[in-house]
Amino acid sequence: MTKDVIYDPTHQLPTDIYTTEVVTAQSPAIIIIHGGGWFRGDKSKESDLAEILAEEGYFTIVPNYRLAPKDLFPASRDDIETVYTWLKHSDYTFNHSKIAAVGASAGGNLSGELALKFGIPAVSWSGIFDLYDWVTKHPDVVAEPDTKQDATVLASAQIDQDGAHDAFYKWFVLNYVNGDLDQLKEADPIQRVSAKSGPIYFANSLNELVPISGVQKMQDALSQAGVPTISQYLTGARHGKAYQADVLNNTLDFFKKTLQ
């Protein structure tokens, strides 16, 4: 693993790189995008998944990106698009025509954005996709931050595991755009679905923090555009990386099939 390689000199944004002796010039690459509601999180919390993917033969990178409220939408999306372009045109040893993305929560949203723009395969665990529509249909929900846990000291699989929390969901979605509903409408990924979008594998728990409505809307839009998708719904309230063990094999199978 090589830490803190700068992929964006303008904003001094780093990425960690994971590779092994089984990675060759024919190996695909995978971008892992950390979660955290676009306002928290760090690449270091994805080291476990990065090591697994590298051992599976994927050239793997885990970038940091700018966070709200200091940097609002579209900063995080722009950064992830920058890291994709940087990776594709880099001199690292891997198959530069085969790149995919995976992320959980906000990372699932951003991995999906890469699929929509660049046509690459993406995996989204608890991806946040229902933004403008959800917020405008829940006017009575009072947005409030979650002050019950310190996410900086918790493993990713322990964060936001208490099930639906509409007040917090509304808070971090609005925090992404500083409450600007016009910007929130622009942040909604569904409008960027096209026939050129890449295939997406969605996973979500049925009673977790992120409503499954976003997955359902995205999958329907992608299907209408002729883009293949897979969705997996799990019982309970686990969010994102908390169910990694249950979806890992399906995730690896998805990558093998879409990166052939």
Q: Residue 148: what pLDDT?
A: 77
Element (H, E) at 4: strand 2-8
Write the pLDDT tens digit of every residue in 8-33. Answer: 999 999 999 999 999 999 999 999 99
pLDDT < 70 stretches in the chain: none
* Distance in angstroms (rounded) separating the CA atoms of residues 253 and 247: 10
Specify the fold of 2-191+198-258: Rossmann fold (3.40.50)
Pull the structure tokens for residue 54.
Answer: 């590298």
User: Can you tell me whether residue 60 is helix, strand or coil?
Assistant: strand
* Distance in angstroms (rounded) separating the CA atoms of residues 256 and 235: 26
What's the order of all strands across the beta sheet hosting 229-234? Answer: 2-8, 13-18, 59-63, 29-33, 99-104, 122-125, 200-205, 229-234
- Token pair 């990106």 is found at 65
* Distance in angstroms (rounded) separating the CA atoms of residues 153 and 159: 10
Q: Spell out the domain ranges in the chain.
A: 2-191+198-258
Q: Residue 185: what pLDDT?
A: 97
Find the angle CA(238)-CA(30)-CA(210) to the nearest 5 degrees: 25
CA 185 from centre of chain: 19
Helix, strand, coil fractions of the chain, as percent rounded to 5: 40, 15, 45
* Distance in angstroms (rounded) separating the CA atoms of residues 207 and 189: 22
CA 1 from centre of chain: 21
Q: Is the pTM higher than 0.95?
A: yes
Q: Residue 154: what pLDDT?
A: 77
- Token pair 């530069």 is found at 96
